[in-house]
Amino acid sequence: MTATTPASRHPISAVWRWSLRRSPILVAFRALGERFRRHAAAAVLIQNSTLSAPVRERLTKIVRRTRLHASEQADIARELIAHARDAADAGNAEPETLAGLGDPRPVARLIRRAVKRKRPLPYQIRRWAARSALGAFVLAVLFYAALTARFYAGAPSIKTDYFARLNAPVHALPEPDKAWPVYLDALIEWDPIRQRLTEISRVDPYDDDVTRRSPGVDSIYDVPRDHPDYDATVAALKSFRPTLDRVAQAADRPALGVLYSDRTRAIEVDGADHAMEVPIEPAADPGEQGSLLSILLPHLGKTRVLARLLAFDIRLAVDEADADRVASDVHALLGMARQLSAEPILISSLVGVAIHELAMQRLAMVIDESPDLLSRDHIVALSHRIAADRDSTLTLRLEAERMMFEDLLQRSFTDDGRGGGRLTPEGARLMTQITSPPPDFAPAPDEEPWVIRSAGTLAMPVLGATVRGRIEQSRMHAELMDTAEHALAAGPASIHTILEPADQRLESLASDPVSWYPLAQLFPAISRAIVNVFAARASADETLALLAAAAFRQDQARWPQTLDELVPTYLPRVPDDPFVPGSHLHYRLENSTPRLWYAGADADDDDGQAPPAPRRPAYTRQVNDISAAYQNAANVPDGDWVLFPPQD
């Protein structure tokens, strides 16, 4: 019979003994215990030696202070015991032996260093790696502490009252030169009428024709004649006409005269479903004011309401063959456009451009539907007015945009007295408020978990150090604004030569939104606004050509064969085509009716053929076509920009 080993006779016992020796958990516990009892073996050696008690105590202190591994401490204990025995064998007294052993603290330090130097290379690598990591961590903590102290020590210094700068010309304006008080009274009178028209509306919200689903007063300037509310709307406007005459007279005043503020008050209007919000004086202390970005401009929408009423009145005047009222209403629209464009605010300029374009559309409608209605004196007066106002009205005012950014900087950055400064906690909070969606346009977000909020708070000092300084931000904003003004003055040719490089520059800033915060997030869409101006100027030029042709018709009893017949008696020159450099506005007689057009976004003359459906409002189509050409879009409309006869 084959002999068997104890392990083979008891395999479970063998596995158990192996697990006790090799179990990772037990090994970890033994290592932990050894770490806390690393001097135990050395202490046993020292206690079992024949040395005197004072010497043993000295050896124990030295060994413990080395804080080395247990095996290393045991080896050191053996060496020290041997050294003490050699001293005793040499006849040294106990004090001399203790003196030879030395002070436990420095001796233990020297021994520790010597032993660690002898340890293997992997240990040395781990040791220096740990030291480097610890050092880097300490430096990072110190650096972050310095950034935090620097970030929270900064505070903005609000020195300039930009609201006062904007309002200074308004306060200096004599009251009879302000149109806004008249406009406001007219709006207060119109609101109950609008409310009553809404209440008596006979529309069917499920009508197949989308133009007949909402009350006529909601689209009063363009309400169809077959609309269920048309007669009631006409009657209401006729009753409102004396007030509208006062509005037309106020449109000749030098300025709108609206106060700029971040505060409003409500005027309750009898018979209306809402109060009228009007601006009031901002706080005297700029520190108590909101940012200039929070400026309230309720007059823009309200002025457009009056412009739509005037546009509707032009339609009624054509039906009534009242040429004087047509001319008066068109002059009023041009006056409103001039007043709004004179404001130093970009959005006001754009509203003024839109009202001016509305006047151009109405003039085209008048000549299309009733070419003999306006007298030659009317035509000449309107032509001179449009030509005189073209460049001053159809432009962009960027003064307030510059002020808004500088005001934002003074509320967000420190001020070193030389124009420089860094982002502050107040600035970070202000940026968050500005870039967050308004509560009226987005659902209230769920509260972020505290971990995310805490991480955001911890990151703010680092972000504050990353953001470009106040001087760089201010300089870059000024350069972009200067570029926009230069492009505006250069005309449509600047679309590719100036605006496109400027947009590429903005894209590069947007790719680094943290460094260029807030400039990359808050720079307005200037390129689109400039394209709006170019489209409006082209439309004004076309209207001047159309009026010149109408004057020629009254003098010669025929339409001109070409636009060259109008130069120079009726027209100083043929307008340029904004799509094709070196080309001009196209014209031909078609069934004894003029047809005027520019080449479309494809820069290809299609002989006056407009793009196919879908149909869009004329001005929207014009702006979109210029934008498509500007962006080198692949799918630009195949067709021309037909301006007359009206395409809608």
Length of the chain counted residue by residue: 648
Give the per-residue pLDDT at 213: 84
Q: What percent of the chain has pLDDT over 70?
A: 87
> What is the average per-residue pLDDT within 575-585?
85
pLDDT over 80 (residue 627): no
pLDDT in tens, 284-310: 999 999 999 989 999 999 999 999 999
Question: 97: closest CA among 89, 87, 105?
Answer: 87
pLDDT over 60 (residue 35): no
Residue 122 burial class via C-beta count within 10 angstroms: exposed 0-12, middle 13-18, buried 19 and up: exposed
In terms of DSSP bridges, do strands 641-644 and 276-279 run parallel, antiparallel, or are they unpaired?
unpaired
Nearest 5°: phi and psi at 261? -160, 165
Give the per-residue pLDDT at 510: 86
The residues facing 597 across adjacent strands are 586, 642
Instruction: Find the range with the poorest average confidence among 19-33, 340-354, 384-398.
Output: 19-33
Give the per-residue pLDDT at 117: 84
Give the per-residue pLDDT at 237: 95
Give the per-residue pLDDT at 28: 63
Write down the pTM of the prediction: 0.80
Handedness of CA 266, 298, 411, 453 (dihedral sign): positive
Average pLDDT, the chain: 86
pLDDT in tens, 294-352: 899 999 999 999 999 999 999 999 999 999 999 999 999 999 999 999 999 999 999 99
pLDDT in tens, 541-566: 999 999 999 999 999 999 999 999 99
What's the pLDDT band for 9 if we cut at 50, 70, 90? low
pLDDT over 70 (residue 125): yes
pLDDT over 50 (residue 62): yes
Integer Cα distance of 386 and 393 in angstroms: 9
Give the per-residue pLDDT at 5: 47
**Residue ranges per domain, the chain?**
38-117, 180-250+297-397, 531-648
pLDDT over 90 (residue 72): no
Give the per-residue pLDDT at 319: 94
pLDDT in tens, 162-181: 999 999 999 999 999 999 99
pLDDT over 50 (residue 1): no
Give the per-residue pLDDT at 301: 93
Give the per-residue pLDDT at 442: 43
Instruction: Find the range with the poorest average confidence among 305-309, 340-344, 431-435, 443-447.
Output: 443-447
pLDDT in tens, 396-423: 999 999 999 999 999 999 998 888 999 9
Give the per-residue pLDDT at 639: 77
Q: Cβ(191)–Cβ(271) under 8 Å?
A: yes
Q: How far is residue 541 from each of residues 147, 435, 536, 548, measured CA to CA in Å?
A: 58, 39, 9, 11
Give the per-residue pLDDT at 345: 95
pLDDT in tens, 448-477: 566 666 777 888 888 888 899 999 999 999
Instruction: Find the range with the poorest average confidence among 203-212, 228-237, 607-616.
Output: 607-616
Integer Cα distance of 427 and 223 in angstroms: 48
Give the per-residue pLDDT at 440: 45
Most confident of 231-245, 267-281, 506-520: 231-245
